[in-house]
Structure 1
């Protein structure tokens, strides 16, 4: 039978393709349940640890280096994302995901047993090496099992899980730390991770096939990780540990550029590079990476200051400020759910992303105005929800667009590299927001400052951050206009480890 494309107004089909080798609806649900547990494992850990940080450094000492407990995790997880995609393409999804979860659990056990701050930082890096594969591999496996045209609902669940965990994590972190100790926030990952492994092992059994032995580009992987880590260290240390114009910052930036040059030269010369250069010959992939990097640069940079705005400017308590950020996450969940159904019916991914970025741009502009002119929660809370609604329309659709465009043999590394650029943009946004805050509220401003003057300084800094975020989102909106829109495939394409020809034509029966 020939492939058919969904038409606007068609009834939304279920997730089960009709070719005989496709997974059933029950099998897809079983896999997705396991994948959502995997996602929750990483998402909950980040928010729980952030809540317990004061107690951790209180026991281990070294409060001046507290941020490295978070930075080590983020640096490690971001630097290995593309590598996980390549490994999944070469050795199959199931063993690589299993290895990722096991590495995360090993790091969790070590963190729970840490007796000093250097140990904690090192073990958090190990935990991050495992966490780097959780989200990309989840998206890759969903891409394997669900046809592109029917994938919006499943990919939207990814954003929903992260949004819900960002709400539940701080609550769980506070309860566990108070009732037990901070050690248990890491040990509790063990039963969750074990449950995820059991579900995934059973659910993915039918979809695991032997693979042909292939060469792994270990030198390329090392160069890529080293270049990424050096660049992220510039973002992390610049303006914090070292001045931006200092010799150490310049030296680290030069090392990052040199390593990047060596990496690009290397992948052009080897037959199976860890990051195929052909990815960047596809205009859709290049534009998609740029759009997501810019979008998350604005969103993460400005979003970082919501708690600071509520506490320092509006004078609410820390617990209350967490509650006030709820509309942002509610917006993400709502738009993720709606997006899957709209994409399912229309078969188009670009209009929703343009709408999402436009909504995010308007939300940031309103937040900047509201912050600068001392508007109340009646203006700020709806704008935050609008920002969440816009955010929930961007990432799932862009992941679907990239998976639809790339050949099957590069789907894994392409999906993981897209997540890498998104994370990189977010980190750059956080670093830029820190620069704006340091410039607007200099360290010389002390406790003796007039409270009204202090509020005015913070108000100006946060309003500036929101407006800069709006400018970055505007750049992302311009960039997405160059994104090609290609028809969504309606059939399921087997993963590259299934023994089928990756270039074989895609077919499906009429839904």
Structure 2
């Protein structure tokens, strides 16, 4: 007698598991965002220069740029859940170090460890694509992305009151405890995903070379505020970067299991998404860095003398706009197409940045401008993430989306460091406040860089057709 075995139904992710991923995204978004509105306060308490403040604002992003591609690749091969839980343990350790930091060096160490949180997003996308149908996975990606931005909104709102009412240490302790709790929920509610392709060896040479590329790039960006003082060092870093990139490309082409499939990156619809994401994030980062600094400048000059609480309140509309931009970008992309939505977002963002260069004499000018930039940027980046996640095979989800996030990180780091360079160059000998022209130059350069990405949108359209 023949026994017929009925195959087990596919495992589906429960709604509670999706919301657990969303809660983790919100908690990490909160932890990521508390530095920006309190940066002037941290600069005063820790006696930091503006260049050191710019470095602190991107320290977390430096680790994120290193961790995201590794996390995405390991998640594709060994299971998103197990990699995510281990990654969040590093984030919690970093949050604890930041909370207990007595000074800038230890705080920088904590921020570096916290940067591992960037790897959580591609791992979330791996899980939702594995356990949900295509339509539902797009919604889930939008939910997770939106809650991450919503967490950033909450962090922006509470950062000033917490830092001024309690202390800077609680800025990191409170969201870190929530990250730990959300991680436990994910571990309990998320299905255990079996490793896919776990027999593949890790591309250690490619990993080492990519890490060297990103570290060299970030080191060069961190030296941007002092470009005039150390041109030879920057030139040497540029040559080292070129050598590392050349070596990495050769290694990845010859590897039987490359960490990054270069043929995937070479697709017009993929590489154009990375270029657009970089340019948009440069413009966004410039506004994120310059606007709080402009609010902080004394009201006796051209600034407003705002406190950290005031700065957080002024930035709140922009964070709300960023939170709304996620679902708005997804809906608009489905209705009008990703290319049209991205082109409209770039146009709005570029025009706003240029306008801020000449019109920033009132608080509401900056509040409205920052909100428009956040909305346009969020629409563009969300469209790029969702489009990239759903245009590749399941086995490439983590790698492809992690590279979008790495590009985002590099764009933010570049924008912040360029802004710091402009303010440093605009501060005369013996002066504490940069000239107003430094802010004008920063906004104009950001507007031009963002506008140039419009030339790549046509390539993105070709990728959509393919």
TM-score by length of structure 2 reads 0.85
Aligned residue among 269, 291, 308 for 1:306: 291
1:216 is displaced (CA, Å) by 0.7
Distance 1:484-1:262 versus aligned 2 partners, 3 A rule:
same
1:434 is displaced (CA, Å) by 2.5
What residue in structure 2 maps to residue 273 of structure 1?
258
Aligned residue among 262, 265, 281 for 1:296: 281
What residue in structure 2 maps to residue 480 of structure 1?
457
Q: CA RMSD in A?
A: 3.2
The alignment partner of 2:254 has SS state of coil
1:170 is displaced (CA, Å) by 4.4
1:85 is displaced (CA, Å) by 1.0
**Is it true that 1:354 corresponds to 2:331 in the alignment?**
no
What residue in structure 2 maps to residue 390 of structure 1?
376
**Is it true that 1:462 corresponds to 2:439 in the alignment?**
yes
**1:468-490: CA deviation from partner (whole Å, max 9, x where unpaired):** 222112111221121136679xx
| Matching of residues 64-213 of structure 1 within 5 Å | 68-114=55-101, 117-128=104-115, 130-149=116-135, 153-177=139-163, 181-205=167-191, 207-208=193-194, 212-213=198-199
**1:395-429: CA deviation from partner (whole Å, max 9, x where unpaired):** 12111221232222222111101110121122112
Q: Distance in 1 between matches of 2:287 and 2:136?
A: 33
What residue in structure 2 maps to residue 339 of structure 1?
329
1:326 is displaced (CA, Å) by 2.5
Aligned residue among 362, 365, 372 for 2:354: 365
1:67 is displaced (CA, Å) by 5.5
Contact 1:105-1:189 at 8 Å conserved across structures: no
**1:367-419: CA deviation from partner (whole Å, max 9, x where unpaired):** 23323xx4x45555444333232122111211122123222222211110111
Q: Distance in 2 between matches of 1:275 and 1:127?
A: 24
The alignment partner of 1:443 has SS state of coil
Distance 1:378-1:142 versus aligned 2 partners, 3 A rule:
same
> Which segment is superposed worse, 178-187 or 472-481?
178-187
Distance 1:227-1:244 versus aligned 2 partners, 3 A rule:
farther
**1:295-350: CA deviation from partner (whole Å, max 9, x where unpaired):** 11122123321122333334242232332223322222233233333445x38322
The alignment partner of 2:359 has SS state of helix
Distance 1:53-1:463 versus aligned 2 partners, 3 A rule:
closer
Aligned residue among 301, 306, 314 for 1:324: 314
User: Where does the alignment leave 5 or more consecutive residues of structure 1 unmatched?
Assistant: 1-19, 448-453, 489-511
1:52 is displaced (CA, Å) by 6.4
Q: Distance in 1 between matches of 2:352 and 2:38?
A: 31
What residue in structure 1 maps to residue 427 of structure 2?
442
The alignment partner of 1:482 has SS state of helix
**1:265-296: CA deviation from partner (whole Å, max 9, x where unpaired):** 21122111111212222111111111101111
Distance 1:436-1:352 versus aligned 2 partners, 3 A rule:
same
The alignment partner of 1:215 has SS state of coil
Distance 1:243-1:314 versus aligned 2 partners, 3 A rule:
closer
User: Where does the alignment leave 5 or more consecutive residues of structure 2 unmatched?
Assistant: 1-8
Distance 1:329-1:311 versus aligned 2 partners, 3 A rule:
same
Higher relative contact order (CA 8 A, sep 6+): 1
The alignment partner of 1:298 has SS state of helix
Distance 1:387-1:220 versus aligned 2 partners, 3 A rule:
same
> Which segment is superposed worse, 311-320 or 405-414?
311-320
1:358 is displaced (CA, Å) by 1.9
Distance 1:182-1:392 versus aligned 2 partners, 3 A rule:
closer
Q: Distance in 2 between matches of 1:304 and 1:442?
A: 16
What residue in structure 1 maps to residue 268 of structure 2?
283
Contact 2:64-2:409 at 8 Å conserved across structures: no
Question: Which structure has the greater CA radius of gyration?
Answer: 1
Distance 1:79-1:108 versus aligned 2 partners, 3 A rule:
same
TM-score by length of structure 1 reads 0.78
Q: Distance in 1 between matches of 2:104 and 2:357?
A: 38
> Which segment is superposed worse, 405-414 or 380-389?
380-389
Distance 1:247-1:347 versus aligned 2 partners, 3 A rule:
closer
Distance 1:333-1:259 versus aligned 2 partners, 3 A rule:
same
Q: Distance in 2 between matches of 1:142 and 1:354?
A: 28
